[in-house]
Structure 1
Amino acid sequence: MALIGKLIMHQDISSRGDLFHDLIRHRPNDIATISPDKLHGCDILEGERGAVGSIICWDYTQAADRWMICKFWLRTWDHEGSKLCI
C-alpha cells in the first residue's frame, strides 16, 4: 500500500536562488553529480525538462541504507519571484 500525502517545506540555501532554480529546472541530473552519496539520479517521466507540467522521478538515499524514490510534478514557475512549486 502506498502512502499518499502533501508535503510543504521551506528550505534555506546558501547560494543564489536563480542558480538553484536553474539547476532544478534545466539540469536536474547535475544534482546527482554534486551530491552522489544522497541523490543517485533522476528520470523525466512526462513532459520536457524544465517545462511546467512535467513529472520527474528522483532516486535518493534517505538514511544510511534506505533507498527512496520521489516523483514530483512541476506545477508552477515564477521567474521574477524565484518561486518553484512542485
Structure 2
Amino acid sequence: MWKTITKFFKDCMTEQDGQSYCPFRIAGCGLSATSIPTFIGLTIWSVMKGNQAWDMKSFAIAFGGMMTGISVLAGTVAFKVKTENAGAPQ
C-alpha cells in the first residue's frame, strides 16, 4: 500500500520521464495536500468550538475558489504535459 501511495505522489510530481521533478507540480501538490484538509478542519473546529455560526454560503464560495485554483493548476499541468517531449532521444 505504501509503495502505491509513494508511486502515485512521484507520478504527480515528476515530468513524463518519471525522473525529473517539476517545481510547478511540487508546489501544486503541496498546496493542495495542505490547504484542503486545513480549510475543512478549521471549519469543523470553528463550528465545534461554537464561537461563530457556520455560514454555508461563505464556505461554498471559499471552497469553490480553492477548487477553481486547483483546477487551473491541473489544466496548466495538462497543457505542459502535451508540450513536453516525452520520447525525445538524449
Fold agreement, TM-score > 0.5? no
- Greater helix proportion: 2
The bucket for the TM-score relative to the shorter chain is: under 0.3
Larger Rg, first or second structure (1 or 2): 2
TM-score, with structure 2 as normaliser: 0.22
Structure with more contact order per residue of length (Cα contacts < 8 Å, sep ≥ 6): 2
TM-score, with structure 1 as normaliser: 0.22
